[in-house]
Amino acid sequence: MTRYRHRDGELLVHADDCDSIRAELAGFGYHQDGAAGPVRRFTGTRPVPEVLAGLREPRLVAPNHVFGADRIIWNQLRPMPTTDELTPVPAGAIRRYVGVIDTGIVLHDGRPHPFLGDRVRYEPEDTARVVRDDHGDPVGTAGHGTFVAGVVLKYLPADVGVRMKGVIDEQSGLTEDLAVANAIDDLGAEGVTLINMSFSGETFEDEPPKAIEDALRRLPAETVVVASAGNRGLRQRVYPAGIRFGRTFDGDPDDGRHARVLSIGSTDRTRKVADFSNYGPWIAAYADGVEVLGPYFHPGYPSPPPEAPPFNGYAVWSGTSFSAAIVTGRIAAVMATGKSARDAATEVLKAEDPITVYDVNGSLDVPYVRG
Q: Give residue 159's identity as a one-letter amino acid code.
A: D
**Closest CA relative to residue 244, chosen from 274, 206, 273:** 206
Q: Which of 239, 283, 183, 241 is nearest to 63 (CA)?
A: 239
Out of 70, 102, 169, 254, the active site residue is 102
Distance of CA 79 to the CA centre of its chain: 18
- Which helix (H) or strand (E) segment holds residue 323: the answer is helix 320-335
Q: Which of 113, 144, 169, 266 is catalytic?
A: 144
Q: How many CA atoms are closer than 13 Å to the CA of 326, on its beta-carbon side?
A: 26
217 φ, ψ (degrees, to nearest 5) = -65, -25
* Active-site annotation holder among 200, 228, 277, 321: 321
Q: Is 144 an annotated catalytic residue?
A: yes
| Closest to 348 (Cα-Cα) out of 320, 371, 322, 317 | 371
Q: What is the DSSP letter of 59?
A: G
Concatenate the DSSP letters of all residues of 167-208 into one string: -S-TTT-EEEHHHHHHHHHHHHHTT--EEEE--BB--GGGPP
Residue 31 annotated as catalytic: no
Non-local (6+) Cβ contacts of 210 within 8 A are 12, 13, 14, 39, 62, 177
200 is catalytic: no
Q: Which residues are catalytic?
A: 102, 144, 321
